[in-house]
Every structure is written in C-alpha cells, then in structure tokens.
Amino acid sequence: MIARIIAELGPWSWWILGMLLLAAELLMPGVFLVWIGLAALATGAVSLLLWDFAAWAWQVQALFFAVAAVLFTLAGRRYYGRTDVGSDEPLLNQRGASLIGRTATLAEPIREGRGRIRLDDTFWIVSGPDLAAGTQVRVVASNGRDLTVDEA
C-alpha cells in the first residue's frame, strides 16, 4: 500500500512528508523534527532527478531518507548544539557555591564539627573546627546544602 501511494504521488510524497514534519515541529517543542523534515525534502529533491531510474525503488528511497535524516540531525546538532556560551551569572542556580568567600556570624556554636550560621534570610548547616556562637567565620566550600567554614 505504501509503495503504491509513493508511486502514485511520485517525488511529491517526500515533499509532503517533509512539509508535514516541519509543520509538526512548529507544534512541538524542541528542534528535532526539522532535521527529519529536511531529510524528507532532500529525498524528494533527489527523487525528482532519479525517479525514472529502475534502481530508485522505494527501498532505496527509504534508505536514502534514513541516512539523510541521521546526517542532517548530526549536522544540526553540531551547529546548533553548542552550549559553551559564557554567562554573566555563572553561579545563578548554585546558591551554595555563590556563598563561598562570604563572612557570617555563628548563630549556633560548632560542636563536634557541626553548627549553624545565618546568611541573608537562611540558616545554613556548617562544618568546621569547634567554635563558640558569635564567632565570625568565612565560608570556604560548599557541598550541596552544607557549607564548610573557617574562622575569619
């Protein structure tokens, strides 16, 4: 049935498929179907040139389409997939790391290596040498939600 439809529509079947895939890309988030749609359009363009050749059967067309889809996807990913863009706020979503270097006063003493400080409006669990409450400390490291401090 598919072979009959392709034979009746000719090279236009690939162009129709390509346009449908590009239209679907507009409806769905992400940039993936555009590469497959471009592969279908390329297959249609090659089919316009090779349609009368007996070797250009639907199986060869499908294989060409699959290879073109992989190549277009890899090329598009290489060109548009660059994520090495620098940021003016590199620690924006790393709150603990953004606190390194700040000083604070111990809200609770550090006993057996654990205590608490208050920075801005948040209490943080800290680890470090045993110190009395009210001592000025400097944040030297962050591992997730806990901070490591030294006496300032």
pLDDT tens-digit series, residues 51-109: 788 888 888 999 999 999 999 999 988 887 766 667 777 777 888 888 899 999 999 99
What is the arithmetic mean of pLDDT over 123-149?
Answer: 91
**DSSP 8-state class, residue 72:** H
Under 8 Å between Cβ of 131 and 106 = yes
Both structure tokens of 26 = 């507009």
Report how far residue 39's alpha carbon sits from residue 126's, in angstroms, rounded to the nearest whole number. Answer: 56
Domains and CATH numbers, the chain: 2-80 (no CATH), 95-151 (2.40.50.140)
Q: What element of type H or E holds 66?
A: helix 58-80
pLDDT bin (cut points 50, 70, 90) of residue 128 is very high
Which tops the pLDDT comparison, 31 or 139? 139
Report how far residue 113's alpha carbon sits from residue 125's, in angstroms, rounded to the nearest whole number. Answer: 10
Report how far residue 63's alpha carbon sits from residue 123's, in angstroms, rounded to the nearest whole number. Answer: 61
pLDDT tens-digit series, residues 1-45: 776 766 676 788 889 999 999 999 988 877 789 999 999 999 999
